Chain A
Amino acid sequence: MKQKVSKKPDRHPKDELLREDRIPHIWCPGCGIGSAFSSCITALKKTGIDYDRLAVVSGIGCTGRVAGYLNLDSFHTTHGRAIPFATGLKLAKPEMNVFVFSGEGDLFSIGGNHFLHAARKNIDITVICVNNMNYGMTGGQVSANTPTGAITSTTPYGNAEVPLNLPSLAAACGAVYIARWLSLDVRRLAESILEALLKPGFSFIEILAPCPTAFGRRNRLGSALDMIKLYQKNSVIRNGVHPDETVIEEGKKMVLGKFIDTERPTFLDRLSKTSELKSTAWPKKEMAAQR
């Protein structure tokens, strides 16, 4: 009698962090979220952090679905509110490493205010933002990061607005780690996500990713491959450059790299100290006396 050989299908090394029972995912062929997601898993594995001590929070949108596919404690919240949700989770359970993975429409159009304050307070979370320059899930409407002049379903004559420059914004608010990569830069991106996850304080990574289905099609940018080639051709790596020099505008290459990597006490660091303080830290008594 022939012996039964049970051959388990080969598992991809990243499958352990994937909710395999949720595949197939919703992302379109050629979408940049998939490779950004994959880079994130690479980084998560390299952190050496116990997976039970990691939590991911997403908002709403295509990128907002990331939380649903990661085999971690994962929270798919309301539109724009992933950062304050993550703030509550982190402050209540500081031993967990909490990161936010969401899109630019979610984090910066509807949720911009929360980003300002979480960065300012230096809440110890990592925010990973896929910027595909439009609202993909609802069919490609204008977002706070749609380039001026671009066609979207709600800017049929071209976008009259000026996009936010996310690294500048993050720097102005006090983020301790700021990087920007293409979804194509899988290794550099994974390295940045790894650094950001291990860095105490508010770290921010922007990922420029093609949305061939909604944004590419309307702006005649060709196939997904054409789009990513276009992004690659029109970008330049300038590590350490001032974030204000990374504005994405016509006629200039998109600046990629790690722009900020610094130290600042986190909210919880300061909180534990201020509750011990006997007097106010500012204004100093001497300052008051000078008046």
Chain B
Amino acid sequence: MTSKRVLTGEHFINGDEACTEGALAAGCNFFAGYPITPATEVAETMSRRLPKLDGTYVQMEDEIASIAAVLGAAWGGAKSMTSTSGPGFSLMMENIGLGVITETPCVVVNIQRGGPSTGLPTTCGQGDIMQAKWGSHGHYEIIAISPSSPQEMFDFTIRAFNLAETFRIPVLIMADEVVGHTLERVTIPPAEKIKVINRKKPTESPKTYLPYKTDSSLIPVLPNAGDGYRIHITGLTHDERGYPVPDAETQEVLITRLINKIRKNRDKIIDYEDYFLDGARIVIVTYGSSVRPALKAMRGLRNEGVKVGLLKLNTIWPFAEDLIRKLAKKVEAFVVPEVNFGQIALEVERCASGQALTKLISHAGGGIHRPQQIADAVKKILPELGSKRNKR
């Protein structure tokens, strides 16, 4: 096994392996996890690669322990990551909240499978999208990204680490089984071409330093354990010193900042690709493994003369709200294929707020949409649009 951190070159690997290589290229040096299909290859690849890179791989007793160890390692200065699927993602929820409130940079990979419960362990689902946003208790904002191919598993995992280090928050990679298990060409660029961001460290004297005091970026500059600052980190509502203060005023200040840290920086976080939006009457909004059938459907429809465009969400949370609002004024309908019964579709519908029709194409899981299903759904709403336009 190689002791090279960045495996520059062309590879024929699956999405899970590409995710691992992306993490390593971003500087990941700690992994704690628990085996679960279809995410196990991430852990397996880490267990082979990390020991040769002076990193640490540890298999924990469950996913609760895995995320706890990932948070602890982050405070030890590591770039840390765990990977899991639905059942494990559910178990991680409480400590993801701890990561949010303590502002701990780390990456959590969810290779989604069919749920609820044990569901469909070996096949695709996208049912955890809302859980990624709302799964831990209390109100918070999170960053979740959505790769749609093994190449993006590599590229976006690097970005996930960079976002985690920049915004000091657990960043969720919401991939799915099809993306994780697709085996295809992945190009790894030379190390010097990869942009890697590392967390800022305080320069102020420990005597005057206030760990959770922030500037206009709303992002605190925090030390690692052992840096001589003797910080106190707590999951309780805390003030700028990091000390627990159980009152409404402190809660207001802290939670407002945690929410705004993401909301006000959303333009720096949100990433998408668009196809043929100019003059489009219908826009397919898609992410993850739904992207490829959606693109194929779009091309077929355009060949038939249907004015359809496509919006591919590379980040899911924070949601590309401003963009959907803007588009809703121009287009007549959004079509949202998802391997669930309407999660991103609800967000699209909310942002369209009656100005454009939103049509969900649901899929219960165990596979993904066929391009024809998406094309048929688009064609089916065409007559509805005509009547809507006449009414205007």
Contacts and interface: CB of A to CB of B under 8 A. Distances in A.
A72 B206 CA distance: 12
Given A19-B232, A88-B80, A68 B244 contact: yes
A93 B225 contact: yes
A34 interface: no
A22 interface: yes
Given A68-B244, A77-B98, A275-B51, A91 B30 contact: yes
A127 B43 CA distance: 28
B75 A113 contact: no
B98 A88 contact: no
B69 A91 contact: yes
Given A84-B68, A88-B30, A76 B232 contact: yes
The prevalent SS among residues of B at the interface is mixed
A68 B58 contact: no
Interface string A271-282: 100010000000
Contact of B77 (A21, A22, A92, A114): A92
A84 B69 CA distance: 5
Interface in A92-132: 92-93, 95-96, 113-114, 116-117
A267 to B, nearest CB: 8
A152 interface: no
A71 B230 contact: yes
Interface residues of A, number: 39
B65 A84 contact: yes
B72 interface: yes
Interface in B59-92: 60-62, 64-66, 68-78, 80
Nearest to B234: A76
Contact of A96 (B71, B74, B95, B226): B226
Contact of B51 (A71, A73, A271): A271
Contacts of B56: 91-92, 271
A24 to B, nearest CB: 13
Given A78-B94, A116-B61, 6 more contacts: A52-B230, A73-B75, A73-B225, A78-B95, A86-B72, A93-B77
A-B residue pairs, 10 tightest by C-beta: A88-B72, A92-B76, A88-B69, A93-B76, A92-B73, A84-B65, A84-B68, A89-B72, A88-B73, A76-B234
Given A84-B65, A91-B69, A275-B51, A76 B235 contact: yes
A84 B72 CA distance: 8
B306 interface: no
A81 interface: yes
Contacts of A51: 230
A67 interface: yes
A75 interface: yes
A89 B61 contact: no
A53 interface: yes
A74 interface: yes
B65 A114 contact: yes
Counting chain B residues whose Cβ lies within 8 A of the other chain, the interface size class is 35 or more
Contacts, number: 141
Contacts of B234: 67-68, 75-76
B95 A81 contact: yes
A65 B274 CA distance: 51
Interface string B220-245: 00001111111111111000010110
Nearest to B50: A275
A170 interface: no
Contacts of A116: 61
A231 interface: no
> B60, B66, B95, B241 — which one has the most chain A CB atoms within 10 A of its CB?
B60
A89 B76 contact: yes
A142 to B, nearest CB: 22
B52 interface: yes
A52 B225 CA distance: 8
A121 to B, nearest CB: 8
Interface string A49-81: 001110101000000000110011111111001
A86 B71 CA distance: 9
A46 to B, nearest CB: 19
Contact of B71 (A68, A88, A90, A113): A88
Contacts of B230: 51-52, 71-74
A19 B241 CA distance: 12
A87 interface: yes
Nearest to B79: A92
B243 A95 contact: no
B61 A95 contact: no
B225 A96 contact: yes
B32 interface: yes
Contacts of B78: 88, 92-93
B27 to A, nearest CB: 13
15 contacts: A51-B230, A52-B230, A75-B225, A75-B233, A77-B235, A78-B95, A78-B235, A81-B64, A83-B65, A88-B69, A91-B69, A92-B72, A92-B80, A116-B61, A271-B56
A278 to B, nearest CB: 12
A113 B62 contact: yes
Nearest to B225: A73
B60 to A, nearest CB: 6
A27 interface: no
Contacts of B61: 84, 113-114, 116-117
Contacts of B77: 92-93
A81 B244 CA distance: 19
A85 B94 CA distance: 13
Contacts of B66: 84
A74 B232 CA distance: 5
A71 B75 CA distance: 17
A77 B226 contact: no
A75 B75 CA distance: 9
A114 B73 CA distance: 16
A57 B234 CA distance: 10
B244 A88 contact: no
